[in-house]
Amino acid sequence: MEFRKAEISEAAEIMDIIKEAQGYFESKGINQWQNNYPDLRVINDDIIKGNSFVLLKDNRIIAITAVFFFEERTYRKIYNGQWLSDKQYAVIHRIAVANEYKRKGAASFILKTVEDMCEKKGVSSIRIDTHHDNIAMQKFVEKKAFKYCGIIFLEDGSKRLAYEKLISA
């Protein structure tokens, strides 16, 4: 598998995977990504700024994510808990795996690769948040040694469960 920065020509393929994720969430009764988010504008912005990544298998995009190495405004305040550290951190947003590759290691590969990126940059923490109904993501990040830290609120006021993992950098 190959993990690399996304290219603007891949935006439509990325949106196809996001649409599959939206359909999956809807089928499970999870009110995440049901309000036309993320849309093509968000994806193009991520790509242009160098924050969008794709995971390829046999030259086909099978999973996507966005990774940021700057402060997340919505993480400044955390409720009913606290972050594990106050050091520089990476943020993982919008992990989505094509339906036919779910539960086949794609998301684990992404997390491991982001950890490696962090170590190379000297970043010792990764943060991630998820919808309170997205039990599969909660179990996944906890299995990958992320610790539940509390609640954050997105800019639109939506509540999210916040996690952090300390890594050796």
Query: Contact 84/120 with Cβ under 8 angstroms?
Result: no
Query: How confident is the model at residue 35, as a pLDDT?
Result: 82
Q: Among 156, 99, 101, 89, which Cα is nearest to 128's?
A: 89
Segment 96-126, tens digit of pLDDT: 999 999 999 999 999 999 999 999 999 999 9
**Cis omega (within 30 of 0) for bond into 38:** yes
Domain extent, residue 30, equals: 2-166
CA angle 67, 69, 72 (to 5 degrees): 90
Tell me, rounded to whole angstroms, the distance of Cα 130 from its chain centroid: 9
Task: Please state the rounded mean pLDDT for residues 20-25.
Answer: 93
Q: How many domains does the chain have?
A: 1
Query: How confident is the model at residue 169, as a pLDDT?
Result: 56
Q: At 162, phi and psi to the nearest 5?
A: -110, 140
Segment 45-78, tens digit of pLDDT: 999 999 999 999 999 999 999 999 999 999 999 9
CATH number of the structural domain spanning residue 144: 3.40.630.30
Please tell me which residue, 161 or 87, carries the higher pLDDT value. 161
Q: How far apart are CA 129 and CA 126, in angstroms?
A: 10
Strands 125-130 and 2-5: unpaired
Query: How confident is the model at residue 4, as a pLDDT?
Result: 98
Query: Contact 92/116 with Cβ under 8 angstroms?
Result: no
Place of tokens 């982001």: 114
Query: How confident is the model at residue 32, as a pLDDT?
Result: 87
Indicate the SS3 state at residue 162.
Answer: strand
